[in-house]
Amino acid sequence: MKTHPNISCPVSRHRLHIVLVEPEIPPNTGSIARLCGATDTVLDLVHPLGFSTDDKHLKRAGLDYWKFVTIRHWPDFETFLEAQEENNLFFFSTKTDHSYVEASFHPGIRLIFGKETKGLPEEILALYRERCYTIPMQNSNIRSLNLAMSAGIVLYEALRQIEA
């Protein structure tokens, strides 16, 4: 697993990033890591994590692809946000009406997802209201999509826009 505990490590400004804020479910993070490896996307993990990075379910979901994933660890969300350019931040939540297809993605963006049980903090959603997007769902009985599925949907839309 190629990890970068030093948050100031050089990573291309043009690569896309998936940011998981305090993820709780190891297989979701493992599946997203595999997605990041397949698309040459950086995975940013914002601590605290709800599991150990040695977790067998995390490793199993990522299979033997961990060595192909660039992972950056951040001690907390505030430290992560302070190090970013605001125009690169895109937040995803079920608590907004703006569809992800309305977003104009560009190289170097950060696709930010909250923890599985609570999503992103309310104060972040309020502060960045114009940068928050959702994945519309047709059935109102379903509260949300799986985190790994959501990350894949949004990442591939970003790639489609950038490579078009």
The pLDDT of residue 21 is above 80: yes
Mind listing the pLDDT tens digit for each residue in 77-88? 999 999 999 999
Which 3 state secondary structure label does DSSP give 54?
coil
pTM attached to this predicted model: 0.89
| The total number of residues written for the chain in this structure | 164
Residue 7 pLDDT class (50, 70, 90 cuts): very low
DSSP 8-class letter at 88: G
**What is the C-alpha separation between 61 and 56, in angstroms, rounded?**
9
Q: What is the CATH number of the domain that holds 106?
A: 3.40.1280.10
Which of 6-20, 44-58, 115-129 has the weakest average pLDDT? 6-20
pLDDT value of position 14:
74
- Confidence category of residue 52, pLDDT binned at 50, 70, 90: confident
Assigned token pair, 11: 């990573």
Question: Using one digit for the tens of pLDDT, what is the confidence trace for 124-140?
Answer: 999 999 999 999 999 99
| 3 neighbors 127 (Cβ within 8 angstroms) | no
**Phi and psi, residue 80, nearest 5°:** -60, -55
For 49, the domain range is: 2-163
**Encoded tokens for 99:** 């569809």
Q: How many domains does the chain have?
A: 1
Determine the Cα–Cα distance for residues 112 and 128; give it in Å rounded to an integer: 12
Q: What is the CA radius of gyration of the chain?
A: 15
Q: Which amino acid is at 53?
A: T
